[in-house]
Amino acid sequence: MSEASGLLNRPSFVILDRDGVINVDSDHYIKSVDEWVPEKGSIEAIIKLSKLNIPVAVATNQSGIGRGYFSYAEVLKMHAKFLELLGEDANIIKYISLCPHLPEVDCDCRKPKTGLLTEIAAKLNIAFDKNVFFVGDSFKDIEVARKVGCTPVLVKTGKGKKVYNEHKAELDDCQIYENLDAFVETIK
């Protein structure tokens, strides 16, 4: 496990989980655009990635759609708010993939399955390797990054502190940071 040591080589691509990484998470789901609040420093971190010309995609499980807690249209409003906050740097977000399914559906897209990431790879014509970093706050995020061959990054926002404490022995190959901004600050 690597706790923020030194500078990272420039990633060729960064994939972000949404809830708990970009925006504040809730055990009761983020159900509306009003509840969608950025994690401290996350918008600024993504703008820094834009200034470094490092493309970004988002991969997010959104089972609240399948549960009937909110609509797909509401998620699109949340994403519009996110892009609006990025302002002139919004074009750094190359793609947002989301899984609307309940866990029991056993779809191919719900993380830790690889469907969301293979969708991103297909849409953007990228090949996964260790220069592609997947930043998440859940163990599912770490697992999916490993499955496709990305470098897994755990941030301690959202569920990240709990994941860090419960899975320390399983994080040897992970980069670990306090938040998204701390990760971006280590990129040369």
Instruction: Provide the CATH number for the domain around residue 31.
Output: 3.40.50.1000
Tell me the pLDDT of the chain averaged across its residues.
95
Is the pLDDT confidence value at 5 over 60?
A: no
The pTM of this model reads 0.95
What is the band of 2 on the pLDDT scale with cuts at 50, 70, 90?
very low
The token duo for 107 is 């779809």
Residues marked as catalytic: 17, 19
Domain count for the chain, please give it: 1
Torsion (CA) 178, 176, 99, 64 in degrees, nearest 10: -40
Cα→Cα distances 27→79, 103, 187, Å: 19, 15, 31
175-177 β-sheet, strand order? 2-3, 175-177, 151-155, 132-136, 13-16, 56-61, 93-99
Please state the rounded mean pLDDT for residues 27-38: 97
pLDDT > 90? residue 135: yes
Residue 56 domain boundaries: 2-185
DSSP state of 92: G
Tell me the average pLDDT across 95-122: 97
pLDDT at 165 > cutoff 50: yes
| Residue 125 β-bridge partners | none
**The predicted structure's pLDDT at residue 6:** 61
